[in-house]
Chains A and B, each alone.
Chain A
Amino acid sequence: MLTIKNLHASVEGTPILKGINLEIKPGEVHAVMGPNGSGKSTLAQVLVGHEAFEVTEGEILFDGQNLLELEVEERALAGLFLAFQYPVEIPGVSNLQFLRTALNTLRKHHGQDELDAPSFMKLAKEKAKQVDLSPDFLKRGVNEGFSGGEKKRNEIMQMLMMEPRLGILDETDSGLDIDALKTIANGVNTLRADDRSFLVVTHYQRLLNHIVPDVVHVLANGQIIKTGDKQLAMELEEHGYGWLGINEAEAAG
């Protein structure tokens, strides 16, 4: 589904990713772990096309398409979804308006009829319930005044609505208590399917107790230095990144 070959990316001339190779097959959940500053979030942002990052070398194929040639919105329509680490607040645009526009754009792209207001509301309420988000949030501005946890739930709720081909979670677990973590993991797990994959970017192993990965990669200094199964995550939890010879302070720059 996703093939990353020798990916190099930099921000304002500073190289961050230095030759990433990664292959995600349909139905797989991959975890990318690594210390702060290793390039985990950059990888997530590059995949969805954030302008701040310049791809200097390598290629990304998504379902055979050259992802780097697609605009941000085209990538989303192709089936990529990033659950942001720090979702922005957009006062004045209601969650409802935002979600409905996004969902109907996607439906139109797939040749489906747009959802009318009542059907949309029904669906949105159902998905909000799945992540324990009160329907009142739908009327508020996008993420406006949401707590950290509410923002994360809102990201997962959007993912449940959009049903992407590849869901990318960027440190979705950070700042969550255990109950919220479970709720969010449940939300993600309900989406798991043979033709849907996930890339879970996280610093800690605890999320992976609930979203069990097929493959775990360790990213350090812009490269994948080790790949294994879920056992690798547990070992990292036990021994820390130093175990792999990574100096965390140095990696963080």
Chain B
Amino acid sequence: MTLAHKTPLTPLDDAFTPEGGKQLPAPLKSLRDIRSKAITGMALPNRRTENWKYSSRYLKLDPELAPQTQATGDADYRSVEGVYRLVIRNGLVDLESSALPTGDGIDIRRFADLDDVTAQSVARKLDTTLDHGTTQLAALNTARLEDGVLIRLSADTSVDQPVYIQYVTDAGASGSNYPRVMVEAGQGSKMTLVEEYISNGDQPVLVDSVSELLLDDSANITYIRLCMDPANVRHIGATGVKVGANARFDSHCIGFGGDLRRHDLQVRLEGQGGYARLNGIALTQDRQHYDNHTAIDHVVPNCDSDENYRCLAADRSHAIFNGRIHIHPDAQQSHADMNNKNLLLSTNAEIDTKPELEIYADDVTCAHGATVGQLDEGSLFYLTSRGIDRDTAATMLSMAFVHELVGQVPLEDIREAVNTRLTDFIEASFRRAAE
């Protein structure tokens, strides 16, 4: 094809595939080497790459982003009460700053500390939850493994407090990090996992994170992902999930835009009676960018999924939602419901939404809806007629748009924090626009 030549291919710079992973047990080091070799010189996604159509121009993997980020001072760990804390700083597990559970039934270990048998088992499972064709940068994560975390729940374990992973990126100097988490939730186990990404410093940095969750039969995992790091952080994240029979996966992915924000959430319903709920909120302002790609595979019969994503884009920002639902030929009696509502807060903002349904079974119900709207003038008038200034009124209405989803975040402390941070973010945007 001659057309292909019109967009020159940019290869991944060799600086991104350095030697490393010396701490890893042999099976994981070997996996790292295989991935590293495979992606050396790989063509980066460009605008002709369908799933990177809107985001590839922000990818810019300049060599200065290649070095591992380094600690540049004290990390600002926001304290969170009533949780088990796991700190991953610059992609490396920081056990000293963590407060891990000590009870039976839950085992949290660094990859570096795994025995060979377990490491062999992890190496076999890593990368199996994600579709490599659509998560090109997840391979870079595996190729850059220095450490990682394995969280294992034994059968019927119910973890009494949420496990809260704080990912800290030091952005005092340019660079990148590659955090990796693997969760194996045994039969009938239950846990809330929170992932929060924070950063200090203002240099351009890249976070390429991958989390994989394997839910055995009847496991129940609630997953809260807070991607609210500052705009200078380019974040490419992938979360892959396999849901077993009668297992339940609930996710709440909430984030702000940045120079580049990309999250791929891929869920495979692989056992009958499995259920997945995917909630998401993305807010962008200024010239920020946020690209959510989700995929739900109904592989077997009798599984349900509910998806509800909302995006708000202000100023000249750009938000993208791409939601794929794939009902496999055997997956009769699947029920899938996908909803994406969007709010444009400025005439210069852009929102692209694309539902993709592939249905290969005939006895299923599959509904989808997508809307793009603006703030309602009548409501704005009503609020301002009571003395509330226009920026505050607009903030209240914007928050009303995501109210239902914020309300579904299960932990009160986190729900409150999310509410406050989203409100502050939106309000700042309206105030700036008014100046």
Q: What is A's interface to B at a CB cutoff of 8 Å?
A: 48-51, 71-73, 75-77, 81-82, 84, 87-88, 90-93, 97-98, 101-102, 105-106, 109, 141-142, 158, 162
Contacts and interface: CB of A to CB of B under 8 A. Distances in A.
Contact of B386 (A49, A51, A71, A158): A158
Given A92-B404, A97-B396, A98-B396, A105 B381 contact: no
Given A88-B379, A105-B389, A76 B384 contact: yes
A102 B400 contact: no
B384 A73 contact: yes
30 contacts: A50-B381, A71-B390, A73-B384, A73-B388, A73-B389, A76-B384, A82-B385, A84-B382, A87-B382, A88-B376, A88-B378, A88-B382, A90-B382, A90-B397, A90-B400, A91-B400, A92-B397, A92-B404, A93-B383, A98-B386, A101-B388, A101-B396, A102-B383, A102-B386, A105-B387, A105-B388, A105-B389, A141-B400, A158-B386, A162-B387
Interface of B: 376-379, 381-390, 392, 396-397, 399-404
A93 B388 contact: no
A119 to B, nearest CB: 19
B381 A51 contact: yes
A93 B397 contact: yes
Given A98-B396, A101-B392, A101-B396, A90 B379 contact: yes
Nearest to B406: A92
Nearest to B399: A92
A105 to B, nearest CB: 5
Contacts, number: 75
A72 B384 contact: yes
Interface centre among B376, B400, B404 (most CB of A within 10 A): B400
A218 B87 CA distance: 73
B400 A76 contact: no
Nearest to A143: B382
Nearest to B378: A88
Contacts of A102: 383, 386-388
Contacts of B382: 84, 87-88, 90, 142
A33 B411 CA distance: 54
A97 B423 CA distance: 13
A172 to B, nearest CB: 15
A73 B396 contact: no
Contacts of B404: 92
Given A98-B383, A101-B388, A105-B392, 5 more contacts: A49-B385, A51-B377, A72-B381, A97-B396, A105-B388
Nearest to A105: B387
Nearest to B404: A92
Contacts of A87: 382
B385 A48 contact: yes
